[in-house]
Amino acid sequence: MKVHVEEFHVSTKAREEVVVVTDKVESIVARSGVRNGIALIYVPHATAIITANENEPGLKEDILNKLRSLFPRGAGYRHDEIDDNANAHLANLFVGFHLVMPVVDGRLRRGTWQEVMLVEMDGPRSRRSVIVVVLGE
Amino acid sequence: MKVHVEEFHVSTKAREEVVVVTDKVESIVARSGVRNGIALIYVPHATAIITANENEPGLKEDILNKLRSLFPRGAGYRHDEIDDNANAHLANLFVGFHLVMPVVDGRLRRGTWQEVMLVEMDGPRSRRSVIVVVLGE
Amino acid sequence: MKVHVEEFHVSTKAREEVVVVTDKVESIVARSGVRNGIALIYVPHATAIITANENEPGLKEDILNKLRSLFPRGAGYRHDEIDDNANAHLANLFVGFHLVMPVVDGRLRRGTWQEVMLVEMDGPRSRRSVIVVVLGE
């Protein structure tokens, strides 16, 4: 049984942005030497999201638009009295900052339309962290 | 330490539908031989959901109704210019396609009101996949 | 490779409440002896939430307010014909009852603004369970 932990960083260029990171995660899975098991993909952040879905430009706009409509900026939040990003905290909490995927035959067992995505909700940031833990044999 | 990976398939009969799959997952946990650890239950799909909640007919309707009201079909999505299922993509992303549950004494350590459910959001489909990875000893 | 399973209980004092449980989870991770791996933090409940975010009083109000506005009580749910907590079931399903975090150097590898939180949605309850499974080496 192996445990492989690795971290990489992403810089974001806008307040809200979808960044596809599948290749970086697949490289870590390959380096781990794990053939069968799981991969935890995790952002140690309270205002960014990690998830997976289809890498289609229109859909990426739809995702950001839905996040903006469900969690609008500056909508009278108490947290905005000390910071201006309560909406990003809520998006992180409701959508997710942790993702566990199967590893089969040394690769993520993901669907055709599943690319791993970091969704920035409080950017731009020079250094968002993504931690990957691969467990298996 | 054991790693057990198994996949099963579900056919769905409506555009939107809740299908309870607890028994299939419990059978895989039993076959895995794992007594204590975790089970990852995963759909490699971008338009279906995996989750757990109470298997009560009224609540299953409430779940589908809430999904329809938060993610209405055909609400001017950009992705619908090339497909007609942006609402299902959003439901998958916001609710979830991965579920990790504890395994204790050879069974899922789930609550009385927790049945594992696949929620179809873009059916009917003849073959939705559910991948289960059981890790532990 | 080690597998450590431990459970603790939380009593809640209001219908809706955020309870920070980071210290209890960190103690379990320490007792597990796992240096590198993952921790599953799980509630075997269909009407409470487990998640992580910033432990700031204003934000905790914002979280409860957003849950109340997205999943209002008594909004004509079918499940309320037999119980009065459909809104809590929906909150649990949409936000989450399972959380997986990395363990690095014997501690949760969480961000500065990530405290583990149980969100009660159908309290008060004398005994909510939190199950922690630590896997790794």
Q: Which residues contact C52 (CB under 8 A, 6 or more apart)?
A: A46, A97, C99, C101, C110, C114, C115, C116, C117
DSSP tally for chain B: helices H, then strands E: 3, 8
Task: Tell me the pLDDT tens digit for each residue of C15-74.
Answer: 999 999 999 999 999 999 999 999 999 999 999 999 999 999 999 999 999 999 999 999
For residue B38, the 8-state DSSP code is E
Chain B contact present for C90, CB below 8 A: yes
The model's confidence at residue A125, banded by pLDDT at 50, 70 and 90, is very high
- Residue reference for tokens 């990976």: B5
Mean pLDDT, residues B70-91 taken together: 98
**Token pair of B121 as six digits:** 């959001």
Chain A contact present for B92, CB below 8 A: yes
**Token pair of A105 as six digits:** 């035959």
Dihedral sign (CA A18, A19, A21, A22)? positive
Chain C contact present for A133, CB below 8 A: yes
Question: What per-residue confidence (pLDDT) applies to B29?
Answer: 98
The terminus-to-terminus CA distance of chain A in angstroms comes to 5
- CB pairs A-C closer than 8 Å: 90
The model's confidence at residue C81, banded by pLDDT at 50, 70 and 90, is very high
Question: What per-residue confidence (pLDDT) applies to B111?
Answer: 97
**Spatial distance between the Cα atoms of A124 and C104, rounded to a whole number of angstroms:** 27
| B interface test, pick of A61, A65, A66, A118 with most B CB neighbours within 10 Å | A66
Amino acid of residue A11: S
Instruction: Kindly report the number of other CB atoms within 10 A of residue C38's CB atom.
Output: 28
Ramachandran quadrant class, C136 (left: phi over 0; alpha: psi -120 to 50; beta: rest): left
Q: Which residues contact A41 (CB under 8 A, 6 or more apart)?
A: A25, A50, A98, A99, A100, A101, A116, A130, A131, A132
Cβ of B63 within 8 Å of Cβ of C3? The answer is no
Q: Which residues contact C65 (CB under 8 A, 6 or more apart)?
A: none
For residue C15, the 8-state DSSP code is S
User: A92: closest CA among A60, A62, A48?
Assistant: A48
**Spatial distance between the Cα atoms of B108 and B34, rounded to a whole number of angstroms:** 11
CATH architecture of A2-136: Sandwich (2.60)
CA distances from B27 to A38, A107, B30, B31, B32 (A): 20, 25, 5, 6, 9
Cβ of A114 within 8 Å of Cβ of B45? The answer is yes
Q: Which residue from B54, B101, B135 is facing C98, i.e. has the nearest CB?
A: B101
Cβ of C77 within 8 Å of Cβ of B99? The answer is no
Question: What per-residue confidence (pLDDT) applies to A37?
Answer: 98
Cβ of A100 within 8 Å of Cβ of B40? The answer is yes
Mean pLDDT, residues A108-118 taken together: 98
Question: What per-residue confidence (pLDDT) applies to B10?
Answer: 98
Question: What per-residue confidence (pLDDT) applies to B98?
Answer: 98
Provide, as residue numbers in chain B, all residues whose Cβ is less than 8 Å from the Cβ of C92: 53
Provide, as residue numbers in chain B, all residues whose Cβ is less than 8 Å from the Cβ of A38: 40, 133, 135
Q: Across the beta sheet with A48-53, what order do the strands follow?
A: A17-20, A115-120, A48-53
CA distance C137 to chain B (A): 11
CA distance A127 to chain B (A): 24
Q: Decide if C136 contacts A135 (C-beta within 8 A).
A: yes
DSSP state letters, C119-136: EESS---S-EEEEEEEEE
**Spatial distance between the Cα atoms of A24 and C77, rounded to a whole number of angstroms:** 44
Contact residues, B window 1-60, toward C, CB-based 8 Å cutoff: 1, 36-38, 51-54, 56-59
Task: Tell me the pLDDT tens digit for each residue of B13-69.
Answer: 999 999 999 999 999 999 999 999 999 999 999 999 999 999 999 999 999 999 999
Task: Tell me the pLDDT tens digit for each residue of B93-127.
Answer: 999 999 999 999 999 999 999 999 999 999 999 99
Question: What per-residue confidence (pLDDT) applies to A131?
Answer: 98
Mean pLDDT, residues A50-78 taken together: 98
Question: What per-residue confidence (pLDDT) applies to B119?
Answer: 98
Question: What per-residue confidence (pLDDT) applies to C6?
Answer: 98
Q: Which residue from C5, C79, C100 is facing B62, i.e. has the nearest CB?
A: C79
Provide, as residue numbers in chain C, all residues whose Cβ is less than 8 Å from the Cβ of A73: none
Task: Tell me the pLDDT tens digit for each residue of C91-125.
Answer: 999 999 999 999 999 999 999 999 999 999 999 99
* CATH fold of C2-72+82-136: Jelly Rolls (2.60.120)
Cβ of A86 within 8 Å of Cβ of C62? The answer is yes
Cβ of B81 within 8 Å of Cβ of A58? The answer is yes
- In SS3 terms, chain A reads as CEEEEEEEEECCCCCCEEEECHHHHHHHHHHHCCCCEEEEEECCCCCEEEEEECCCHHHHHHHHHHHHHHCCCCCCCCHHHCCCCHHHHHHHHHHCCEEEEEEECCEECCCCCCEEEEEECCCCCCCEEEEEEEEEC
Q: What is the dihedral of CA B49, B54, B57, B62, to 10 degrees?
A: -60
